[in-house]
A and B are shown apart, each in its own frame.
Chain A
């Protein structure tokens, strides 16, 4: 029982770290633009698929990862420049649909560039399970958790210490005031999409050796990441991380002790419960107004 619980917790933290990264991607874009970017999962897919095909083509892994992150970031920038920026001033509903269109477009493109099959990426450092307190953990899971911690720390430093990060925070709090002190909000938006895409791509690369990757892995990951962002409080960085980990652990426990067939349902039941009882999330960036 104890060992089983430890096993579920370890699995949960690994999945949770991935959800946290996807949720962070949502929050970065939501903060800068108030757009809920439904193409977030496609950044994850592009990261994983690009790395797999580069590695298969003989490119060394670290180089392939760097290239994949750059490709995803370029797609993020293009999405902002070609679609979101052109629709400035449009309603929230319109912007949501534009990102949904982008997500379908990118999935269709991936289907053409690659194929409809599942692809596996070699684990970064072997696949001999490591024993921990009676349970086991794959080396790749350690990579997932370690890199996630590094990314969260780097983002924390970026938003607290650098001029560009502070400018992004300022623009998210009050767009007009940010413009008045000389921040170019257009650049902030562009940066947000590029950064969010890069974080999403890392999630896709880290998880590709564990869950395999294909042209349509993005959808479910995006929806779960979205649920994590709501749980933590949309727009809150700390909330995204806590929300992602909570969701991952609850999902893993639910699949283990309640029903594995309903594994994918838990995240959405939790999301509905949060919306009913605490709509601003665990770490509200802004409180939801009651009418």
Chain B
């Protein structure tokens, strides 16, 4: 039983589900629920992105592009073509996955940080196209999105969305943890340790890196699609370079190669700006400083650093 609890795949997941179930006790108004929902949606992206950064050792500077594809794909297919939301979600996620494969396949054959540059270019192209094609996307002003309906039931209200996003997050974490413990996950970790050694053991580096990249794009697109339906309105800022940076920062701050670190990172960086708005003019400076200081003093991220400190104390 204790061993079962100590393992991340089972005990950690149980802790996360318990946290999701118990959190509403501390949420007293709709605003609190709103923040919790946004934390959950960001955490889904980060859990996927962490597979890429923490396990495949690659960085994406264009993940907001996949997020934007999911959001705008859902918005456009439901509003302009009358698709049911579930089909629109599936189609735009498949689109994001296909794009990730097309970009990732040639780039990830190269050693080094070329994916960072390619995703940077890809993300900016997506955000400019969204801002420019205003007849379809509404341009810089954004566009309204219909509520999510499934089998005649409409998702509405903060409380309903809280449980939907909570369930989606638990599912995302479960999938990620299982992947990490699977042969593919072991291959990824081997690659991160030493690419040459992994190759000698028969791991095809390109294939597994592409896999991690495509999965992370899928998680981002699903979260983007859910965000669009939840918020009821989307703007190109969701697909911007700065949003890509925010997502990477959440993962790295929480702790690379730590699925729960990604969740914590999303929680901290989503709630931080809510607190920082109190600082008004200093908001940007403080955000930049937090980024720099945490990278300098906690390069491994919050969760791994704290875990290491706890392990030392226990000994």
Contact = CB atoms under 8 A, between A and B. Distances in A.
A288 B281 contact: no
Contact of B284 (A36, A107, A226, A230): A107
Interface stretch (A143-151, A206-214, A261-269): A261-269
Contacts of A137: none
B292 A102 contact: yes
B305 interface: no
B53 A275 contact: no
A83 B292 contact: yes
B296 A97 contact: no
B287 interface: yes
Contacts of A112: 281-282, 285
Contact of B252 (A97, A107, A108, A219): A97
A97 B291 CA distance: 7
Interface of B: 53, 59, 103, 106-107, 109-114, 116-118, 120-122, 124-125, 128-129, 132, 195, 199, 205-206, 241, 245, 248-249, 252, 256, 281-292, 295-296, 299
B288 A275 contact: no
> Which secondary structure characterizes the binding site on chain A?
helix
A92 interface: yes
Contacts of B256: 93
B245 A100 contact: yes
A268 B289 contact: no
Nearest to A259: B132
A279 B288 contact: no
Contact of A96 (B116, B199, B205, B281): B116
Given A83-B292, A97-B248, A288-B111, A108 B125 contact: no
B120 A104 contact: no
Please list the 8 inter-chain residue pairs (A to B) with the smallest Cβ-Cβ separation, ordered nearest first.
A105-B288, A108-B284, A101-B291, A104-B288, A108-B285, A101-B292, A268-B121, A289-B111
B282 A94 contact: no
A102 B288 contact: yes
Given A90-B299, A93-B256, A289-B110, A268 B285 contact: no
A272 interface: yes
25 contacts: A96-B59, A97-B248, A97-B295, A100-B245, A102-B288, A103-B288, A104-B288, A105-B284, A105-B285, A108-B282, A108-B283, A108-B284, A109-B285, A111-B281, A112-B282, A227-B121, A230-B117, A268-B124, A269-B121, A272-B118, A272-B122, A275-B117, A276-B106, A279-B107, A291-B199
Contact of A279 (B110, B116, B252, B282): B110
Contacts of B205: 291
Given A103-B288, A288-B112, A98 B296 contact: yes
A223 interface: yes
Interface string A177-203: 000000000000000000000000000
A290 interface: yes
A96 B113 CA distance: 11
Interface string A228-243: 0010000000000000
Interface of A: 36, 83, 86-87, 90-94, 96-98, 100-109, 111-112, 219, 223, 226-227, 230, 261-262, 264-265, 268-269, 271-272, 275-276, 279, 288-291
B109 A291 contact: yes
Nearest to B283: A108
Contacts of A288: 110-112, 114
Nearest to B256: A93
Contact of A264 (B107, B128, B290): B128
A230 B256 CA distance: 27
Nearest to B291: A101
A47 to B, nearest CB: 19
B49 to A, nearest CB: 12
Nearest to B61: A96
Contacts of A268: 120-122, 124-125
A108 B132 contact: no
Given A269-B125, A288-B111, A108 B288 contact: yes
A103 B291 CA distance: 10
B288 A265 contact: no
A242 to B, nearest CB: 18
Given A111-B284, A288-B111, A265 B125 contact: yes
Contacts of A90: 295, 299
Contact of B296 (A86, A103, A223, A261): A86
B261 to A, nearest CB: 14
Contacts of A100: 245, 249, 291
Contacts of A276: 106-107
Contacts of B281: 111-112
A269 B125 CA distance: 8
Given A104-B288, A105-B292, A111-B284, A261 B132 contact: yes
Nearest to B300: A94
Given A272-B122, A275-B117, 5 more contacts: A96-B59, A101-B290, A108-B284, A269-B121, A275-B107
A94 B294 CA distance: 10
Contacts of B103: 272
A97 B122 CA distance: 19
A134 B111 CA distance: 49
Contact of B114 (A97, A107, A275): A275
